[in-house]
């Protein structure tokens, strides 16, 4: 099984998800997505795997979200993806990717669901 976590080490939810992976004994690749943002194609593929639209996984309370007026922005998938990869802080974290699942893993149960469906 191949596992990857899109992670921000300053985020408590990210640290909790990473700890859950460590506790489960899972080998994984850690992608610090603020330093290594996804391409538009990668992010679109992850959204498809999660079964979500970009506005559903956007961090709307970030200052840049307010500057961009995201709350009022038309739900144009390509435009949202473009903005979110240009400003990866807008992407909800952490995201855990396995061979069988992709989830926004904001709690240990989400991590377990991802690992169970791998």
Active site residue ranges: 11
In terms of C-beta density within 10 A (0-12 exposed, 13-18 middle, 19 or more buried), how is residue 113 classed? middle
- Contact 13/6 with Cβ under 8 angstroms? no
Show the 3-state SS of 39-84. CHHHHHHHHHHHCCCHHHCECCCCHHHHHHCHHHCCCCHHHHHHHH
Residue 34 CB partners (closer than 8 Å, separation 6+):
8, 88, 89
């Amino acid at each position: 099984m191949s596992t990857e976590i899109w992670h921000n080490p300053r985020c408590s939810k990210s640290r909790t998800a990473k700890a859950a992976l460590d506790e489960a004994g899972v080998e994984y690749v850690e992608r610090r997505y603020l330093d290594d943002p996804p391409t538009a194609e990668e992010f679109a593929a992850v959204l498809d795997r999660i079964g979500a639209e970009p506005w559903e996984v956007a961090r709307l309370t970030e200052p840049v979200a307010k500057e961009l007026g995201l709350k009022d922005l038309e739900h144009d998938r390509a435009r949202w993806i473009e903005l979110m990869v240009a400003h990866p802080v807008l992407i909800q974290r952490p995201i855990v990717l396995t061979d069988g699942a992709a989830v926004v893993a904001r709690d240990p149960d989400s991590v377990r669901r991802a690992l169970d469906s791998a």
